[in-house]
Amino acid sequence: MVLVGVTGGIGAGKTCALAQFEALGCRTLDADAIVHSLYEPGQPAHQAMIHRWGGRVTDKQDRIRRAAIADIVFESTAEREWLNALVHPLVQRTMREEAERLPTPLFCGVPLLYEVGWECCMNWVVVVWCNRDTQHQRLLARGWSQEEIERRLDCQMNMDEKLERADIGILNIGDMKLLRQQCEHALKIIVRANGPQG
* pLDDT band at residue 195 under the 50/70/90 scheme: low
Instruction: Report pTM.
Output: 0.86
Q: What is the pLDDT of residue 161?
A: 95
Strands (E), the chain: 3-8, 27-30, 106-109, 124-129, 168-171
Architecture of domain 3-192: 3-Layer(aba) Sandwich (3.40)
Q: What is the pLDDT of residue 197?
A: 47
Element spanning 156, H or E: none
Which is it for the CA torsion 70, 36, 120, 126, positive or negative?
Answer: negative
Considering only CA atoms, which of 145, 117, 113 is closest in space to residue 127? 113
Considering only CA atoms, which of 176, 12, 173, 14 is closest in space to residue 107? 14
Q: What is the tens place of the pLDDT at every residue in 147-167?
A: 888 888 887 899 999 999 999
Q: What are phi and psi of 6, to 5 degrees?
A: -110, 120
Q: What is the pLDDT of residue 198?
A: 39
Q: Order across the sheet with 168-171: list the strands.
A: 27-30, 106-109, 3-8, 124-129, 168-171
Judge whether residue 110 has pLDDT over 90.
yes
Which of the pair, 198 or 17, is modelled with greater confidence?
A: 17
- Domain positions in the chain are 3-192
Mean pLDDT of 17-25: 96
